Amino acid sequence: MSLSGLIEQQVLAGPDAIAVHYPAHAGQRGGHLTYRELSRAANRLAAHLRARGIRRGDRVVLSLRPGPGLVSALLGAVRAGAAYVPVDPATPLAHRHLVVRDCAAGVVLTEGAGAADYAGLGAVVVDLDAEAGEIAGRSAAPADEADGFGPDEALHVRYSPTPADGGDGAVADGSGGAVVVSHGAVVDFVRATGELQLGPADAVAQTAGSALDAVVFEVWATLAAGARLVGLGPETVADAGRFTDAVRALGISVVFLPAALFDAIARRRPAAFASLRTVLIGGQGVDARPVRQVCAAGAPGRLLHLYGPAGTAPARWREVGGPHPATESATGSGAGNGVGAGSGAEIGEGEVGLTGGELDEETGVAGECDGLPLPVEEAAEWRAAAVARIGELPRRRVLELGAGGGLLEDLARDGEVEEYWATDPSPAAVAALRARVEAEPVLKGKVRLARRGIEDLGGLPAAHFDTVVVSSVSRHVPDAAGLRRLVEGALGLLAPGGSLFLGDLRNLDLAHCRHTALALARTGGVPGDREALRRAIEARVAAERERPLAPAGLVRLAGDLPAVRGLDVRAPRGVRHNEPTRYRYNAVLHTAPAVAGLAAAPAVRWGRDVETVAGWQQALRTGRPAVLRLAGVPNRRVHDAYSAMQSLFDPREGIDLAPQDAPAPGLEVLCAAAERLGYRPNQVARALRSRSTGTVGLVQFFCCEIEAQQGTLSRVQLSLIGGLTGRGS
């Protein structure tokens, strides 16, 4: 059954039940609709859209404020056979124009004075206020276009003000940050949420902006279950006291909040959730301390950390706060229903989870990011490694772009930091960060927060910052063109000699290796058809939703930018083997001339000059070189998957993920051995010339180098292409 059909079932079952209720307040149109009224309003709007030229598969942009009219417009666009494209009318006009042009919108739905914003873009502009009388005269009878959609037909297309809200699991269509979500994906997701047992007795809060993927759960899952959708404005959810009052006064039973917003409310009003039947926490990691406070103050019936954004199936959750806080479930899988959150059992200190990958794919790989959050200790290690890496850079004045990733507090507390500017496109993330900053005097005195897109650098002081941080490039930047724009803009904000940190880059060079491991893990054995497996892996690499980037791409970019004097590409530090340490890397672009060029530094090669940890230490002791490179170290983190990938092309070899003989100690073991002798080691990628093609490219992290530098060197920059670090010096 289609999404429209699922909702129509509820219209027939309870036509006079309240479907949508939005209390009136600033920025939100108040009012309510019964299920019958909602269905008829959607049918009339669908007829009006068809009369204005909309045909099946066309795009309809919705530039509407939150309220009952927005919800009926969503359903009306679907029943017209179109794919809806929501935009926030408060976002910059240039962005809204880009969306209209990029999606080739047939119609833009707007209201009042907003209609003038879309003149001259080639789309029909429908002012719902001005045309209200005409719409009311349309037929309220359902039309054929309202049903019969194929599972692959587009239901909606999502853009964000910048590519900032990490993957919602749909398939990127390649159009500069657009994400197309199919009817089948949403229907599967809505059916899967049946395990949450939403029903007519529930009132579900609607807090997300219309362009965010959480709306798929808030609107469609709610209406398909016959529950009541209750709109809460951003000023309500950003204020813990007002949120608590609204939940109780409006009888809300279910809320879905981003982790940052849950954290902010929990810290100020831990009892705010006590009256709720279910609380879902989405997105980034959840700090265990406020979870414990919530459980102690009066936990909701269920407290779930949801992975797998609304828009795909299956989604996964982890129950937090109960006797089994790590209980995991997959909606629609029949797996564990979890436990109630009211027992007040202990939860480990730190983060309950940090999402590290694609939630509907990475399952069953030992040590792999399997779609569940990283365990507490691994999340802490990931964060500590990023903070330590940034701590090596000048940081009197720091700018963080996309600050919702959890680094701000650790970085801003650093005594060397005098100014810490931070931006993020998410109003919930900014509100949560502001609450934390206001509560801590040391942060309040140096942190400046602003809600703005990742590429919106207007008004920020030029040539001012010692370091600019983008902690998660893969989440925020959709493609190579977007990366170039971001890098060029950020370089203009750096003071002379400043550095740009780019973190959490997924490595394109390892995409086939990664998808080989995932494919073999899914089959549970060796597939009989090697060619079919190779084709499937190629298809999955091509369909990557989070745009990976080869380190060589950064080399080319750095070579094009005169301001860049040095480029430092590193595999992340960490003793644990997981998705971030295996398949991601970070990079620093330096504008200062190199303190020391490392390309000509002395080197020893693993397997030829050094074969053991003791041999590596002896090489460091001999002559106490300022810098010594250990080259050609097999990367144990990806060795098994790499071996399986190579076996695909050799019919004499078996294909499996069985552990291989260790080709070398772990990279972190070799680093620790250097540290014990007073060296500062790094795991680096090096530019090499391919014997087969003659081209210059980077080691693909199948083999790595350990670069040991004596601690007396305050800063050493890595040259990855000839002459780069010598520029202008």
Strands, sheet with 627-634, edge to edge from the N-terminal-most edge strand = 447-451, 419-424, 397-401, 465-470, 494-506, 584-590, 566-570, 679-684, 703-710, 627-634, 603-605
pLDDT of residue 365: 27
183-192 vs 3-13: helix crossing angle, rounded to 10: 50
Residue 342 vs residues 111, 257, 258, 264: alpha-carbon distances, Å: 45, 19, 21, 20
Q: What is the β-pairing status of strands 228-231 and 18-22?
A: parallel
Cα(29)–Cα(66) distance, integer angstroms: 6
Summarised one tens digit per residue, pLDDT across range 385-429 is 889 889 989 999 999 998 877 788 889 999 999 999 999 887 777
Contacts of 417 (CB under 8 A, 6+ apart): 395, 396, 397, 398, 411, 446
Q: How far apart are CA 294 and CA 344, in angstroms?
A: 9
Distance between CA 101 and CA 61 in Å, rounded? Answer: 10
Nearest to 704 by CA among 637, 624, 627, 615: 637
pLDDT at 372: 44
Helix (H, G, I), strand (E, B) or coil at 429: helix
Check residue 555 and give its pLDDT: 82
State whether residue 296 is helix, strand or coil. Answer: helix
- Beta carbons within 10 angstroms of residue 155's beta carbon: 25
- Write 137-140 long-range contacts (CB < 8 A, 24+): 138/43, 138/44, 138/45, 138/47, 138/48, 138/51, 139/43, 139/44, 139/47, 140/39, 140/40, 140/43, 140/44
Write down the pLDDT at residue 64. Answer: 92
| Euclidean distance between CA atoms 515 and 290, whole angstroms | 36
- 238-241 own/partner pairs: CB under 8 Å, 24+ apart: 238/264, 238/427, 238/428, 238/431, 240/264, 240/265, 240/268, 240/269, 240/272, 241/268, 241/269
DSSP string, 542-593: HT-SS----HHHHHHHHHH-TT--EEEEEPPP-SS-SHHHHHEEEEEEE-SP
pLDDT attached to residue 118: 93
Given this model, what pLDDT does residue 353 score?
27
Nearest to 620 by CA among 643, 597, 603, 635: 603
Which residues, given as ranges, of the chain have pLDDT below 50? 162-176, 308-315, 322-372, 525-526, 685-703, 711-729
For residue 729, count other CB atoms closer than 10 A to its CB. Answer: 11
Are the C-beta atoms of residues 667 and 636 closer than 8 Å to each other? yes
Q: Which of 68, 92, 94, 104 is nearest to 178 (CA)?
A: 104
Distance, CA of 531 to chain centre: 33
| Collapsed DSSP state (helix, strand, coil) of residue 6 | helix
Cα-based angle 11, 30, 52 (whole degrees, multiple of 5)? 65
Closest CA to 149 of 68, 79, 99, 237: 79
